[in-house]
Amino acid sequence: MRRQGWLAGLAGAALLAMAAPHAHAQDPAWKPARPIRLVVPFAPGGQPDLVARALAVPLARELGEAVVVENRPGAGGNMGAQSVAASPPDGHTLLLGTNGPLAVSPALDRGLAYDVERDFTFVTVVGTSIQLLVVPATTREATLAEVIARARRDAGKLNYASVGKGSLSQLTSQIIFGEAGVLAEHIPFQAGPAAVGSLLAGDVQFLSLNPTALLPHLSAGRLRVLAQTSDRRSARIPEVPTVAEVLLPGFNELVWMVIAAPARTPPAAIRSLNAAFVKAIAAPEVRTRVWESQWIDPVGSSPEAARRFVLDEKRKWLRRGENRKVTLEE
In the predicted structure, residue 13 carries a pLDDT above the cut 60: no
- In 26-179, where do the E strands start and end? 36-40, 67-71, 93-98, 120-129, 132-136, 158-162
pLDDT computed for residue 318 by the predictor: 95
Evaluate whether 69 touches 38 at the Cβ level (below 8 Å).
yes
pLDDT computed for residue 45 by the predictor: 86
In the predicted structure, residue 7 carries a pLDDT above the cut 60: no
pLDDT computed for residue 19 by the predictor: 38
Euclidean distance between CA atoms 223 and 199, whole angstroms: 9
In the predicted structure, residue 289 carries a pLDDT above the cut 80: yes
Long-range Cβ contacts of 318-325 (<8 Å, 24+ apart): 318/107, 318/108, 320/107, 320/175, 321/107, 321/108, 325/175, 325/178, 325/179
Q: Which distant-in-sequence residues (6+ apart) come within 8 Å of 60 by Cβ?
A: 36, 66, 67
Largest Cα–Cα separation, the chain: 66
Euclidean distance between CA atoms 33 and 22, whole angstroms: 22
Q: Which domains does the chain have, with CATH numbers?
A: 3-129+254-322 (3.40.190.150), 132-246 (3.40.190.10)
Euclidean distance between CA atoms 328 and 330, whole angstroms: 6
Beta-bridge mates of residue 69: 38
Q: Give the residue-averaged pLDDT of 131-152.
A: 96
Q: Give the pLDDT confidence of 231-254 residue by residue, as tens digits.
A: 999 999 999 999 999 999 999 999
pLDDT computed for residue 191 by the predictor: 84
Euclidean distance between CA atoms 258 and 303, whole angstroms: 10
Evaluate whether 296 touches 255 at the Cβ level (below 8 Å).
no
pLDDT computed for residue 220 by the predictor: 97
In the predicted structure, residue 71 carries a pLDDT above the cut 80: yes
